[in-house]
Amino acid sequence: MDARARQVNAFPVAVAVGTLLLVAADASRACGEALRGTTGRAENARYEIVFAAVPAPLAAGKLFSLDLAVCPRGGAAAPNALAVDATMPEHRHGMNYRPTVVARGTGTYRADGLMFHMPGRWDLLFDLVTPAGTERLTATVLLE
């Protein structure tokens, strides 16, 4: 859940490759490094999504936004679009609000209009529209 944990892993890799390939060193930088505060993450073999809530920390029953970074892995194509939604699988309901997502360039996005209206387990659903089809990444958030 913390971007710094990832950075710690990525750093030795960058050192090992050395500065021979600046591009490679750049690509191995932690995804979403520029995001402020505590971050969460969703990932699969082809994509990594790092997100931070605004305002933080998240509170039940309060509207919030997400700042997001989407990082393709292993040569996967950059997505054309991102959609964000959330559900409470244990309660079998979604949000009472429909978020909108705006691309902010270089793989970063802003999602507005989210609310977790009760405490418990929420699954954040990220749908990436890619040239190869739509794929869904999920991150679980436990809200007190």
Partner 1 sequence: MNRRYSGLAALVAGLVVGATGAEPVAGPSFTAPEVRAILAHGPWPPPWQSDPSNRVSGQPASIAFGERLFNDPRLSRPGTIACASCHLPPRSFTDGLPRAHGLAATDRNTLGLANVRRQRWFGWDGANDNLWAQSLRPLLDPREMGGDLAHVAAVVRADADLRERYRESFGAPPSAADEPVAVDVAKALAAYQETLATGRTPFDEFRDALARGDDRGAARYPAPARRGLALFVGKGRCNVCHLGPDFTNGEFHDIGIPFFAGPGRVDAGRHEGVRRVRASRYNLLGPFNDDSTRQTATATRHVAAEHRNFGEFRVPSLRDVARTAPYMHNGSLATLRDVVRHYSELDEERLHADGEQILRPLRLTDAEIDDLVAFLESLSASQANSSTSRSR
What are the distances in angstroms from CA 129 to CA 40, 69, 70, 77, 133?
A: 21, 15, 12, 10, 6
Nearer CB in complex with Cu ion: 16/142: 142
Nearer to Cu ion, 37 or 89 (CB): 89
Told to check if 54 binds partner 1 by CB under 8 A, we report: no
Give min distance, CB of 142 to Cu ion, in A.
13
Burial of 75: CB neighbours in 10 Å, binned 0-12, 13-18, 19+:
exposed
Residues 72-91 interacting with Cu ion (rule: CB under 5 A) = 88, 91
CB nearer to Cu ion: give 50 or 88.
88
Q: How many CB atoms lie within 10 A of CB 92?
A: 7
**Residues near partner 1 (CB under 8 A):** 1-2, 38-40, 53, 56-61, 63, 90-100, 112-113, 115, 117-120, 141-144
